[in-house]
A and B are shown apart, each in its own frame.
Chain A
């Protein structure tokens, strides 16, 4: 148990390190790291050019740059935003709460929706396309368009959009797992015996799909995180996704690194969580 925990922590650490190196390299090598839209503005051109020259001198060598960023992180200092000139922590903290709440609510809602829809539909003999249609519809509409439609309708919000997306993808996944599970011999037998639905679900169905639910949790987290940026940008949620997009568009490495690491942490955490549920099931 302890060894398992140690391995998880070691893994998380390795992940963070790799993500940090990868993200720094990607941002530094991306075109336009050392340019700024204000260079084109006659009024601000000279001051901006001076700033960029300084930045250039600091980031000439990739290894030095990496060492600086990592050293800062080890000392618990995420650096100062290139764009706003404020410590990264100060930018991130209030947004973390907003995004955390959004993620939590939409994950719960999405799961509940997907699970109930999948449970109901998978017990039907003839289902298929009719049940699939709503989720296919949700998947086909770009997140951006969905967010805009919500804006236009004046109803629904970021939680709604995210929950719908998560539910649509999870539903597809769950539907198949459940369809398969219902056809397993012991379940068929139990159903034939007329065991009540509630007991059937709790005692027979849940254990047989539990291990895959772990994977699903991980997947949902990934879906939620990938929808975070468009949803927050379009629906104007002052969360991390919006911050990440601005940071990417302005090549704000310290901010982007912090957000990326947080995302990696979320992915790892969901990975560990799903792994743990698997372990619990085996025990």
Chain B
């Protein structure tokens, strides 16, 4: 009787288990010789000229045939579709000589006309191509194809590091853009299931060969699974359904290190920084005394000295980060200022500095000269565990000098609105991703007139003498043709930033990655795309 009554329950549970089995998110089966990894979201576009998000950029990198490729390991430009290239002494004329016998993935011949058309296309304002910005004045750039092998690009003015821009311009068949379906790169887009996967197939006409003479790319294709959830990403990797994970968090790195020791790599400090800054914008609705604290250099330096960066590294990044004092990371060997004099973590010095700047302690609270308790909020983006932890640690670090800190997390659009539009915030903790080693890429952050000059955006004239000096040095490095002069200017900017602390740098997170032992040919670098920048050489080892 009792069993009889329970039987339906058991049956149902069995049924549930079977149904559930069929309902687990299906991963498309991998084709022989196909590489696989995951991307976070749907690429917004497959049109290489319109790329403005990270996942579209991934597809572009894998499919686009480019004149020059920036080698992420040697950090030098290498010819691809161009056999050779030449920059005129005034830096305003670039001449590319194409290889012979180039073909698109559909077999059609690729000539200089296609290349010129593709470059012109990204320069047109109608295309709205973000890469056009890098030409500074895209409207007055002239592109010619004097013969079928030669492309000439004439710029109205010299642009620092212009060669690298061509790493981002896909050469497409003239007058028939195909959204990645016909390419001149290693792969082309073969199949796309919205919110499930993107499948790229090998371009049979890709002319490159590796050192041993084998045709490139080595893999038969790439399967990009669209997976948002990091847990799912780890699971796919552990089951061998994905070959690599980039931008691994330190917690998952540690877990994988113990489960599968051979599969994780710590490549050392990245080019990226995590920093905190105070709002110094005059347009902010903050009370006058708060603005006065934030504009006070001693206050900012004291905050920097009170923060225990070693604890951030140890507790938040589990050791996989490096304390930071400058916007250029030691991974950027050419530009990092090795003689930087930075105010290191020192509680006594912080207290001393605050006292000299007119602040005083009352009990456990810090008061400014006018008697206002020093109390402010640190904003960061919600959903980022590392930043929340850092903010919480900083909260306690600053409590040691009597500052009362409130940690507030907001979702990204709400945060950006405060940072970029209303300026209604006190301090903010965010990271900055650098995709390039050349500091010229950071012009938008350091020029006081730029809207991305976060602590005081879009200044009409530099608000302080040191900001004026940064402007001067940054402009100097952008226009100078001598490397030594550029280096000296950038070193000076690093020293000013370290002295004035408009951004209080916290850490350089390390580049952490997981690479399946089955994947051959990987040469991870610290510049994006760290793991598959040499995708042509990647292939799967034969199992067993």
Residues on A close to B: CB < 8 A? 30-40, 42-50, 83-85, 91, 94-95, 102, 105, 109, 112-113, 116-117, 120, 123, 148, 151-152, 154-160, 163, 233-238, 242-243, 246, 249-251
Contact = CB atoms under 8 A, between A and B. Distances in A.
B425 to A, nearest CB: 12
Contacts of A83: 44
Contact of B232 (A113, A117, A236): A236
**A-B pairs with lowest CB-CB distance, top 4:** A32-B413, A238-B195, A42-B444, A160-B20
Interface stretch (B87-95, B414-422, B511-519): B414-422
Contacts of A34: 417, 421
A32 B417 contact: yes
Interface string B44-64: 110000001100000000000
Interface stretch (B4-12, B104-112, B200-208): B4-12
Contacts of B443: 42
Q: Considering residues B417, B443, B451, which has the most beta carbons from chain A within 10 angstroms of its beta carbon?
A: B417
Contacts of A158: 23-25
A46 B228 contact: no
B227 interface: yes
10 contacts: A31-B410, A40-B419, A47-B128, A105-B19, A113-B16, A151-B231, A156-B17, A234-B229, A236-B227, A249-B411
Nearest to A117: B9
Contacts of A37: 412-413, 416
A159 B412 contact: no
Contacts of B134: 43
B416 A233 contact: no
B419 A238 contact: no
Contact of A33 (B15, B53, B413): B413
A157 B414 contact: no
A163 B16 CA distance: 8
B495 interface: no
Contact of B19 (A42, A46, A109, A155): A109
A279 to B, nearest CB: 30
B25 A237 contact: yes
A84 B44 contact: yes
A156 to B, nearest CB: 5
B191 interface: no
Nearest to B11: A116
Q: Considering residues A32, A94, A123, A158, which has the most beta carbons from chain B within 10 angstroms of its beta carbon?
A: A32
Nearest to A46: B133
Contacts of B441: 42
Nearest to B196: A238
A141 to B, nearest CB: 16
B36 to A, nearest CB: 15
Contacts of B195: 94-95, 238, 242-243
A110 to B, nearest CB: 9
A102 B231 CA distance: 21
A40 B420 contact: yes
Given A116-B12, A160-B17, 19 more contacts: A31-B413, A31-B414, A32-B412, A32-B414, A33-B413, A34-B421, A35-B421, A38-B53, A39-B420, A40-B416, A46-B130, A47-B128, A83-B44, A91-B194, A94-B195, A95-B195, A116-B9, A155-B21, A233-B229
Contacts of B229: 151, 233-236
Nearest to B225: A236
B41 interface: yes
B228 A242 contact: yes
Interface in B215-241: 226-229, 231-232, 235
A199 to B, nearest CB: 16
B499 interface: no
Nearest to B44: A84
Contacts of B45: 85
Interface majority SS (helix, strand, loop, mixed), chain B: helix
B42 interface: yes
A36 B232 contact: no
B133 A159 contact: no
Contact of B15 (A36, A91, A95, A109): A109
A152 B17 CA distance: 16
A146 B430 CA distance: 31
B130 A43 contact: yes
Interface string B6-40: 10110011011101110111000000000000000
Contacts of B24: 155-158, 235
A37 B412 CA distance: 6
A148 B234 CA distance: 12
A242 B417 CA distance: 24
A163 B21 CA distance: 14
Interface string B414-454: 11111111000000001000010000011111000001100
A31 B228 contact: no
Contacts of B25: 157-158, 235-238
Contact of B6 (A40, A120, A238): A120
A32 B177 CA distance: 35
A48 B52 contact: yes
Nearest to B134: A43
Q: Considering residues B12, B226, B452, which has the most beta carbons from chain A within 10 angstroms of its beta carbon?
A: B12
Contacts of B418: 31
B84 to A, nearest CB: 28
A43 B441 CA distance: 8
Contact of B228 (A85, A163, A236): A236
Contacts of A233: 228-229
B451 A45 contact: yes
B20 A157 contact: yes
B38 to A, nearest CB: 10
